[in-house]
Amino acid sequence: MSDPEPDELFRARLLRVVSEELRPFARIAVGAELDAMGRKYNRFRTGAPLKGFDGFRDDQTEKQGRK
């Protein structure tokens, strides 16, 4: 497995797909905050979701996304 992308590279890739209202937050987010935004748009630092890698409990993510 290759190393995950650093924040700067992941942010640049994420900014291509985030909504205009989330764009300001994506510009300042770091670490787990960026991972959460990426997950919303099906973007992951490793190219695919890895269980436990981004600090989220996979069984909780679906529940949180349906608020």
> Residue 66 in contact with residue 17, Cβ under 8 Å?
no
What is the rounded distance in angstroms from the CA atom of residue 14 to the CA atom of residue 63?
A: 23
Q: Compute the chain's Rg from CA coordinates.
A: 12
What is the rounded distance in angstroms from the CA atom of residue 52 to the CA atom of residue 25?
A: 24
Higher per-residue confidence, 50 vs 47: 47
Query: What whole-number percentage of the chain has pLDDT above 90?
Result: 42
List, in sequence order, the alpha helices (H) in the chain: 7-15, 23-28, 32-40, 58-65
pLDDT > 60? residue 31: yes
**Residues for the chain: how many in total?**
67
Q: In the prediction, which pLDDT does 26 show?
A: 94
